[in-house]
Amino acid sequence: PTATERQKADGFGRFGVRRGYIRIGFENKFMQAVFLPNITSSGIKFQWAYAQVKDPWKGVIALKAGVFDRPFGYENAYSSAARESPERARFIQKLFPGVADVGATLILQLPKTSPLNIFKLEAGVLSGNAINPDFDSRMDFIGRLSVNKTFGNFQIGAGVSAYMGGVLQRDSSVFEVKNGDFALLSKSADNIGKYAERNYFGADIQATLQWEAGKTHIRGEFVTGRQANNQNGNYTYNYSTAAAALEAAGPVYMRNLSGGYALLSQTFGKLPLTFIVKYDIYDPNSDLSGNQVKKAGDISIQTVGAGLFWDIVPQLRLLGYGEFVKTEISENLAGYEKSRRSNAFTLRLQYKF
């Protein structure tokens, strides 16, 4: 058997550096510049490289440009140092690979002296190809409107997000789901060079209560949208060698998708412990289910995660986290006649300085 086949049969364990950030930055009243490389066992990549400038009069308007986290939802831009689960929700990993993108964002927020300071608007344009080289002149729009309010020991926040973009087509055929299966929607040479739809809409909410038992934090997100992929569900825009890869991508398959998560974390008085439980679901094709699914790219995945943080000292944190994964079952797809084994346990030591 191959190494991959042995991993599937026997499980797979490894040591690794999950994240290794070194933040280099400059900040004053009106400007911020950040460069953040990520040094891991897989190599060195840069996470952020951006500059942000505020208007020098009121500080109400800010412009951020460069490579930065996409302003969509809450967890997408939530710090990895603070995030409870080892990775972001699956729908974020799938829809926004690479975490960061290249572009520019306008940020509007009134001063803290204003009662409307609780609102924040972020809107901008991105290349839509993560940090890979761009291959067309089309930009994608992204935006989030959020509100955050504190009432004594209780804090609540919410937001709505939108992503509106396109995927460059290099094939004449476009398929979409009709009557429980993919059917040819259009076949024309005119399709080549057009942009297939890539639109997502999301909503998120967070609530935190500090009380006698400790700190209780609850949050959740939901996303729905429409995505252009190839027949296997791979994202045709996420290529670094654009021309060759897009030529090989083949026909466009349009899919309606949905996803989301719900999370609860709880501390215990003054003990340096935090319990976490998280439910995560991602359905890359919400029009097909069960035995209608015939392609691996249409399999929905549900994950229940639970873990415990131990803040040994303020700079040192130990996390034990288990993930129990359930994949959709289809008798018409080889390898998915039963839920595939892909549970995982992570033991992570995190150091900040």
pLDDT in tens, 144-191: 999 999 999 999 999 999 999 988 888 899 999 999 999 999 999 999
CA-based torsion, 282, 283, 289, 290: positive or negative:
negative
Residue written as token pair 């190839």: 230
Segments of the chain with pLDDT less than 50: 1-6, 238-241
Q: How far apart are CA 197 and CA 254, in angstroms?
A: 8
pLDDT at position 8 is 54
Q: How far apart are CA 25 and CA 32, in angstroms?
A: 7
For residue 29, is it left (φ>0), alpha (ψ between -120 and 50) or beta? alpha
pLDDT at position 326 is 96
> By three-state DSSP, how is residue 294 classified?
coil
pLDDT (tens digit per residue) in 279-303: 999 999 999 999 999 998 899 999 9
> By three-state DSSP, how is residue 247 classified?
helix
CA 190 to chain centre: 33
pLDDT at position 5 is 47
Contact assessment for residue 247 and residue 219, using Cβ atoms and an 8 Å cutoff: no
At residue 96, what is the residue type? F
> By three-state DSSP, how is residue 1 classified?
coil
Tell me the two tokens of residue 90.
């699956």
pLDDT at position 1 is 41
**DSSP annotation of 114:** S
Contact assessment for residue 196 and residue 228, using Cβ atoms and an 8 Å cutoff: yes
pLDDT at position 352 is 83
pLDDT at position 145 is 98
pLDDT at position 237 is 52
Closest CA to 144 of 200, 187, 195, 193: 200
> By three-state DSSP, how is residue 96 classified?
coil
Closest CA to 159 of 105, 215, 220: 220
Residues 6+ apart with CB under 8 A from 181: 288, 292, 294
